[in-house]
């Protein structure tokens, strides 16, 4: 199916930047290990990178509703290119310290909150609502190939090359990928909407279009009784705009519950992943190059999940697709803790985990994009992701402490227990009628209108 020129540009930008991210993902923990062997300090890199989701996510959501989302994405990618360039310098300077990695990782994560929130909020204006699962699935599959299959071996290979100066090459590659991505995003052309246009443009949009949207929702949001919020203006306060997004999500039982479950799931994953580089090198005895190959092999599951997720959601429905993903994720974490003694078992578990995460993401992200009105999508997404991604630094800190006190295998057992609790909660709390009601209340946005280039 054709998803349009604008989506192809968005897809290409995502693919390019994800390739650089894959090289960075393999190189940054190896650089951390170059500076220190302390599990807590190594986990600190993951904490610094994910902390912006706790501190900056809500503000990023307001920006996504106030301003041109395409322009925000391009600016964020430029900032990320600069941050990764600084990391490249840290990798080769004689007196480099691990706290410098913390700073660059935090800057990279802060820009990512802006980019990711704007990208998810903009997608329904780029492709038709009926094609959201296909668009999200293809993007996740492409991200997996570039970010996990191609990028990590390339990054670890460049980092492990003979000359010390080559340690910076994976970071320069990532910086270049961000710059190219920013240029591709700048070429996307879509008609401005009340939510994505700057205030002066939004004010010129005919009032009858806004009236149609309010009439379609009965004058309320999907929260059931909460007044439909308007698109924010730079003249309104951040606190006011954030509060609107928070109220909408709090009153929406399904998305509120999914946000909480996502928080537990992501925290569980980060508990295990924060010291994974040490687990791989010390427990599984893989070398620097082998670590990149290990990450790449796990991408198989993510690719399969991305390509199959549209059919899985269509066949099973959103609820069962989410349950399937959560169950596979819990099982894979448990198997790592119990059975992973070599790279082969680890590859299978990582592939299963990547498959489960992709199915969960495609199902829940596509549903959110349909349910949340465009004029508030950035703010609601930011609150949702604050809950879901704000738990990452907490998980990283907990993972480092557990590994330090009880060994490198113990975080996987804790992660498995938390994920089992998520599956039980979905079965007990999120009944089928809740999904059916949410989908029936969603309002399809108008078809995307491309602007002539």
147 has pLDDT over 80: no
Q: What percent of the chain has pLDDT over 70?
A: 84
323 has pLDDT over 70: yes
The mean per-residue pLDDT over the stretch 371-378 comes to 86
Distance CA 270, CA 53 (A): 13
Q: Which of 51, 181, 57, 170 is nearest to 103 (CA)?
A: 51
220 has pLDDT over 60: no
Which has the higher per-residue pLDDT, 136 or 1?
136
Name the band, by pLDDT with cuts 50, 70 and 90, for residue 232.
low
Average pLDDT, the chain: 79
CATH code matching the domain that covers 5-188+237-441, chosen among 1.10.167.10, 1.10.260.40, 3.30.1520.10, 1.20.1250.20: 1.20.1250.20
In the beta sheet, which residues pair with residue 190? 450
- For residue 17, the model assigns a pLDDT of 86
311-320 b/e (C-beta count within 10 Å ≥ 16 → b): ebbeeebbbb
For residue 93, the Cα-to-chain-centroid distance in whole angstroms is 31
Give tens-digit pLDDT for 24-38: 888 888 888 888 878
Q: Are 375 and 229 in contact (CB under 8 A)?
A: yes
The mean per-residue pLDDT over the stretch 305-319 comes to 86
Q: What percent of the chain has pLDDT over 90?
A: 13
- For residue 441, the model assigns a pLDDT of 62
230 has pLDDT over 80: no
Domain boundaries, the chain: 5-188+237-441
Token digits of residue 50: 């994910």
216 has pLDDT over 70: no
Q: Which of 266, 262, 264, 226 is nearest to 245 (CA)?
A: 226
- For residue 342, the model assigns a pLDDT of 76
Q: Are 219 and 190 in contact (CB under 8 A)?
A: no
User: Could you give the angle at which helices 57-66 and 98-122 cross, rounded to 10 degrees?
Assistant: 40
The mean per-residue pLDDT over the stretch 165-172 comes to 80
197 has pLDDT over 70: no
The mean per-residue pLDDT over the stretch 424-452 comes to 68
Distance CA 168, CA 238 (A): 38
The mean per-residue pLDDT over the stretch 432-437 comes to 84
Q: Is the pTM of this model over 0.75?
A: no
Token match 């009926």: residue? 130
The mean per-residue pLDDT over the stretch 99-115 comes to 89
- For residue 191, the model assigns a pLDDT of 57
Q: Which of 448, 359, 450, 385 is nearest to 120 (CA)?
A: 385
Up-side HSE of residue 53: CA atoms within 13 Å toward CB?
Answer: 24
Name the band, by pLDDT with cuts 50, 70 and 90, for residue 2.
low
1-5, 276-280, 359-363, 447-451: lowest mean pLDDT where? 447-451
Q: Are 411 and 40 in contact (CB under 8 A)?
A: no
85-89, 201-205, 231-235, 437-441: lowest mean pLDDT where? 201-205
Give tens-digit pLDDT for 254-292: 999 999 999 999 999 889 888 888 888 888 888 767 776
The mean per-residue pLDDT over the stretch 179-207 comes to 59
137-146, 188-197, 229-238, 371-380: lowest mean pLDDT where? 188-197
Q: What is the dihedral of CA 326, 329, 330, 331, to 10 degrees?
A: 120
Distance CA 231, CA 380 (A): 12
Q: Which of 260, 266, 241, 211 is nearest to 377 (CA)?
A: 241
417 has pLDDT over 90: yes
Name the band, by pLDDT with cuts 50, 70 and 90, for residue 158.
confident
16 has pLDDT over 90: no
Cβ atoms < 10 Å from Cβ of 89: 14
2-11, 72-81, 231-240, 337-346: lowest mean pLDDT where? 231-240
For residue 38, the Cα-to-chain-centroid distance in whole angstroms is 27
Distance CA 140, CA 122 (A): 16
């Amino acid at each position: 199916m054709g998803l349009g020129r604008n989506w192809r540009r968005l897809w290409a930008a995502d693919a390019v930047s994800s390739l650089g991210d894959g090289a960075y993902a393999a190189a940054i923990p190896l650089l951390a290990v170059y500076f220190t062997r302390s599990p807590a300090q190594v986990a600190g890199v993951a904490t610094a990178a994910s902390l912006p989701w706790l501190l900056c996510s809500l503000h990023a959501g307001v920006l996504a509703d106030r301003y041109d989302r395409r322009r925000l994405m391009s600016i964020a990618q430029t900032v990320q290119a600069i941050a990764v360039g600084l990391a490249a310098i840290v990798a080769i300077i004689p007196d480099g310290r691990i706290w410098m990695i913390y700073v660059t990782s935090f800057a990279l994560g802060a820009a990512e909150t802006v980019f990711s929130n704007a990208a998810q909020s903009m997608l329904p204006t780029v492709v038709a609502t009926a094609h959201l699962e296909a668009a999200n699935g293809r993007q996740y599959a492409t991200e997996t190939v570039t970010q996990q299959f191609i990028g990590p071996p390339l990054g670890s290979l460049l980092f492990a090359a003979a000359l010390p100066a080559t340690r910076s090459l994976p970071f320069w590659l990532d910086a270049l990928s961000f710059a190219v991505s920013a240029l591709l995003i700048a070429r996307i052309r879509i008609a401005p909407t009340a939510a994505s246009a700057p205030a002066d443009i939004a004010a010129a949009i005919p009032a009858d279009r806004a009236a149609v949207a309010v009439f379609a929702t009965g004058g309320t949001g999907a929260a059931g009784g909460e007044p439909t919020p308007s698109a924010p203006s730079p003249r309104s306060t951040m606190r006011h705009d954030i509060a609107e997004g928070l109220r909408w999500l709090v009153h929406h039982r399904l998305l509120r519950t999914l946000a909480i479950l996502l928080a537990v799931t992501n925290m569980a994953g980060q508990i295990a992943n924060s010291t994974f580089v040490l687990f791989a090198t010390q427990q599984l005895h893989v070398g620097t190059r082998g670590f990149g190959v290990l990450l790449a092999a796990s991408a198989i599951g993510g690719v399969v999940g991305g390509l199959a997720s549209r059919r899985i959601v269509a066949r099973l429905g959103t609820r069962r697709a989410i349950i399937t993903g959560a169950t596979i994720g819990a099982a894979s974490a448990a198997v790592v803790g119990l059975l992973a003694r070599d790279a082969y078992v680890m590859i299978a578990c990582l592939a299963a985990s990547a498959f489960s995460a992709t199915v969960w993401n495609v199902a829940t992200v596509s549903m959110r994009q349909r349910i949340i009105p465009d004029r508030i999508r950035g703010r609601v997404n930011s609150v949702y992701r604050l809950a879901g991604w704000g738990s990452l630094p907490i998980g990283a800190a907990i993972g480092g402490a557990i590994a330090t006190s009880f060994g490198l295998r113990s975080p996987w057992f804790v992660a498995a227990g938390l994920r089992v609790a998520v599956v039980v909660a979905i079965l007990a709390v999120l009944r089928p009628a809740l999904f059916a009601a949410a989908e029936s209340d969603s309002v399809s946005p108008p078809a995307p209108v491309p602007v002539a280039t």
